[in-house]
Amino acid sequence: MVTCNSVRRAVGGKTIKVDLEVTNGVIKNIIISGDFFLFPEDYIHLIESRLRGLKIHEVPNVMLEFKDSVEVVGASIEEFIDVINEAYKSCMGE
Amino acid sequence: MWRLIIDEGNAYRNMAIDEALLTLKDRGLIPNTVRLYVFNPSAVTIGYFQRINDSVNLDYIKSNGIDLTRRISGGGSVFHDVNGEVTYSVIASINDVSQNVIESYKIICDGLIYAISQFGLKAEFIPINDVVVKNKKISGSAQSRRKTALLQHGTLMYNTDLNILSNSLKVPKEKLEQRKLTSIFERVTTLSRELGRTVSKDEVIEPLIKGFSKALNADFIRGWYTDKELELANELANKYRSREWIFQR
């Protein structure tokens, strides 16, 4: 298991941090944190649970499915995907 | 007609009441309400999505008797100084403010701007959720929404001890780098600091009432919570003081 993280200041002004645990190229655990706003708030748990068990290339499609059900303010779903990718790359030592 | 409640309590009770009112407002059971309240004892609240270890100096707040809880709203960590900060909450039908999130922040923050202007200071709304005086933050707000109702709560720092604030909160270095600033002192201020005298809590209550009345186009009736609100808040307070809730991420 490898753990790693990535942090970014979103264009909308808020901070996004992604903490990842990766085993054999599979996301074992993920926490998307920061000072952004996301409505409804408890969807963050649903998003994180949908990402567990995925390979990195599967992340964008799953994340984009949430575009209709959540509103992100101060950051964006696309930026969440970018920070997840950055964290994954650092897990892989890239 | 809006209800106005002036209150004081600990962090768990304050956050529980905000959530109870949002829940009951969303069910259409209570009037639009503005709360003005103080955290006693002083407390740190962190945003729903924040990691505790990234946002709070736990050792410092523990050794200084500062309470800690997590909000249902997003946004950043806040220090609520019992001797220097008034918190407001607006609990209202979304249709009575704005469907648009940023627009609703602006409408409600205008209440703070009107309040601050009564001290002869020019304040500005900086989207998404800050009010600044001379480019320094004097108020931060956070919103949570249900289907038909919104809760916006936020601060007005009239005499916050910025040393304690600075020691209590962790600020991501990415945030400071982007703003090319080095410390909380350079980006946060209080009414007392700007006016060069000690401002008291009693001085800010009336300007806040007038400010929100104007911003929300609301006539206020001073009131208190119903039994149902207090009953729900009492249940929710247990969540706000639980480790599971506070340390969930």
CA B165, B126, A86, A82: dihedral to nearest 10 degrees? 150
Helix (H) or strand (E) holding A49: helix A43-51
Confidence of residue B175 (pLDDT cuts 50, 70, 90): low
DSSP string, B162-211: HHHHHHHB---HHHHHHHT---GGGTB--HHHHHTS---HHHHHHHHHHH
Confidence of residue B176 (pLDDT cuts 50, 70, 90): low
Question: Within its chain, how far is the Cα of B31 from the centroid?
Answer: 20
Decide if B23 touches A, using CB distance below 8 A. Answer: no
Domain boundaries, chain B: 2-246
Q: B46: Cβ–Cβ under 8 A, 6 or more apart, which residues?
A: B52, B55, B56, B68, B69, B70, B71, B76, B77, B78
Give the model's pLDDT for residue B182.
65
From B129, B70, B126, B124, select the one nearest B101 (Cα to Cα).
Answer: B129
Confidence of residue A22 (pLDDT cuts 50, 70, 90): very high
Mean pLDDT of the region B152-164: 97
Q: Residue B106: left if φ>0, alpha if ψ -120 to 50, beta else—which one?
A: alpha
C-beta atoms of B128 and A73 within 8 A: yes
**Other CB atoms within 10 Å distance of the CB of residue B212:** 24
What is the architecture, at CATH level 2, of domain B2-246? 2-Layer Sandwich (3.30)
Give the model's pLDDT for residue B143.
98
Give the model's pLDDT for residue B110.
98
Instruction: Tell me if B233 sits within 8 A of B15, measured CB to CB.
Output: no
Give the model's pLDDT for residue B131.
98
From B106, B77, B105, B85, select the one nearest B175 (Cα to Cα).
Answer: B77
Task: Please tell me the least confidently modeled range out of A6-10, B55-59, B110-114, B175-179.
Answer: B175-179
What is the architecture, at CATH level 2, of domain A2-91? 2-Layer Sandwich (3.30)
Instruction: Tell me if B16 sits within 8 A of B237, measured CB to CB.
Output: yes
Give the model's pLDDT for residue B61.
97
Residue B232 has pLDDT above 90, yes or no: yes
Give the model's pLDDT for residue B73.
98
Q: Round the average pLDDT of chain A to a whole number and report it.
A: 95
Confidence of residue B74 (pLDDT cuts 50, 70, 90): very high
Q: Round the average pLDDT of chain B to a whole number and report it.
A: 95
Distance from CA of B64 to the nearest CA of A (A): 25
Per the model's pLDDT, the better-predicted residue between B174 and B242 turns out to be: B242
**Other CB atoms within 10 Å distance of the CB of residue A85:** 16
Which one of B47, B102, B249 has the shortest CB-CB distance to A35? B47
Query: Chain B contacts of A17, Cβ < 8 Å?
Result: 51, 54, 172
C-beta atoms of A39 and B73 within 8 A: no
ipTM over 0.90 threshold: yes
Confidence of residue B49 (pLDDT cuts 50, 70, 90): very high
